Amino acid sequence: MAQVKPSQKPHGLSRAERLQRRRDFEHVYEAGLRLRARNFALFAAPNDLGFSRLGVVASRKVGGAVRRNRARRLLREAFRLNKNRLRCPCDVILVASPSWQILRLSEVEPDLQQLLEKVNATLSR
C-alpha cells in the first residue's frame, strides 16, 4: 500500500485526513476515549499514521439537512483550526448532539480546545 500523507493545503482536510471506512469509525467508538461538550461529543483513539484523522457525525435528530450540514461544517472547521493542538496522532470523531443549537465557530472552538487538551492528557501517557 502506498504511503498516505496529509495535504499541505491551507484550507480543508485532505482525503487522507478524513475517516471514511465504517471499520475505522467502529474502532474509535469501541477502543477510544469518550468526552462530552455542550453541543457535541468527541471520541478519540491513537493511530499509527503520523497524523490525525477526523470523522464528523450529525444524525437526523440534530434537525433537517440544513442544520446537519451546518453542524458538520462548524465541527470540521473547528477541528481543522485546532488539529495542531493534538500531541499524538489520533483518529477523532465529533458527534453533534440532538440538542445542537445554531452556533458560531467562536462558540464551538473553545469547547473543542478543552476537549483536545483532555485528549492530550489522556492519550499522551
Domains of the chain: 15-123 (3.30.230.10)
| 67 pLDDT above the threshold of 70 | yes
Say how many CA atoms lie within 13 Å of 125 toward its Cβ: 6
* 0.85 surpassed by pTM: yes
| 90 pLDDT above the threshold of 80 | yes
Helix (H, G, I), strand (E, B) or coil at 102: coil
Q: How far is CA 101 from the centre of its chain?
A: 18
Give the residue carrying C-alpha cell 446537519: 68
The answer to whether the beta carbons of residues 18 and 4 sit under 8 Å apart is: no
Q: How far is CA 100 from the centre of its chain?
A: 16
Which one-letter amino acid corresponds to residue 119?
A: V
Evaluated on CA atoms 32, 15, 115, 85, the torsion sign reads positive
In terms of residues, how long is the chain? 125
The reported pLDDT for the residue numbered 9 is 54
- Give me the mean pLDDT over the 41-56 stretch: 93
Q: Out of 5-19, 67-81, 86-100, 104-118, which region has the weakest mean confidence (pLDDT)?
A: 5-19
Confidence of residue 10 (pLDDT cuts 50, 70, 90): low
